[in-house]
Amino acid sequence: MGKVSSIRLKTSDEIALMRKANLIVAEVLSVLKNKIAPGMSTFELDRIAEEHCLDCGGLPAFKGYCGFPASLCVSVNEEVVHGIPSRKRILREGDIVSLDFGVLYQGFYGDAAITLPVGRISEKKTRLLQVTEDALYKGIAQAVPGNRVSDISQAVQSYVENAGFTIVRQFVGHGVGAQLHEAPEVPNYRSTDKSSPRLLEGMVLAIEPMVNVGTHRVKILDDHWTVVTEDSQPSAHFEHSVAITATGPYILSHREIRGDDPVVC
């Protein structure tokens, strides 16, 4: 079986369920954005996320996934992704914090991430956050039927590198649906693989650029989860779950409500 045939296309009913899952994700991230402040522990953020998710009728998807011990991934400054919340990790003015959250709702997953400033941050970090979020939208703009996954990768990488930052290669975006991680992989860099999958209506992709100020290289800490930049310079991460539709990219994890959206929370 080829790569393309292992990609599961979603029906419009399934995409509607995924919109609900992702609306809960968006809601949780929005609550965290409003509450984050210097002096909070990353554990507190995890508690808020989990409680709010359960209140909305969703299940935290990351808790226990491959043994991950929390509901929310919290990655501070040089941490790229998969940071483990801790009572001991206190946020300070000037930090940047990547929050990645996943929800399981009626058999389908939602997945999104944002990077937030804590109080006032440096100009460089401000630019890093803006470039990373903009790069995500450059990638999303390519998520249309007929393009290839590599068109998304190319758009993200070019934008990031033209801005003077680097793109992480060791971790990539992914298909999402009845599984948290499905085919295809969605790299944020140009690959030499000429058979990059063609984008079809009904695919849902988690597009998630991870952008570094310094080297693109990363390493994993002894906790076996936390990914950090090799040179300890800051990193940012933005992610949306996006459905490929005939009328263009449908950002399922966008908080903005459309007329046909369900009330979830």
Pick 129 or 176: Cβ nearer Mg ion: 176
Helices (H), the chain: 12-35, 42-55, 123-141, 149-162
| Burial state string for 171-186 with b = 16 or more CB within 10 A and e = fewer than 16 | bbbbbbbeebbbbbbb
What are the DSSP calls for 113-127, one per residue?
A: EEEEE-SS--HHHHH
Q: Which of 48, 206, 218, 236 forms a contact with Mg ion (CB under 5 A)?
A: 206
Pick 171 or 201: Cβ nearer Mg ion: 171
Nearest residue to Mg ion on Cβ basis? 206
Pick 216 or 237: Cβ nearer Mg ion: 237
* Positions 77 through 116 that interact with Mg ion (CB under 5 A): 111
Pick 7 or 206: Cβ nearer Mg ion: 206
Closest distance between Mg ion and the C-beta of residue 10, in Å? 16
Our finding on whether 185 is near Mg ion (CB under 5 A) is no
Query: How many residues form the binding site for Mg ion (CB under 5 A)?
Result: 2
Determine contact, residues 98/74, Cβ cutoff 8 Å. Answer: yes
Determine contact, residues 186/152, Cβ cutoff 8 Å. Answer: yes
Structure tokens at 251: 């950002």
Which of these ranges, 9-17, 121-129, 134-142, 198-206, lies near Mg ion under the rule CB under 5 A?
Answer: 198-206
**Angle ∠(97,160,211) on CA atoms, nearest 5:** 30
Pick 21 or 206: Cβ nearer Mg ion: 206
* Positions 139 through 178 that interact with Mg ion (CB under 5 A): none
Residue ranges in contact with Mg ion by CB under 5 A: 111, 206
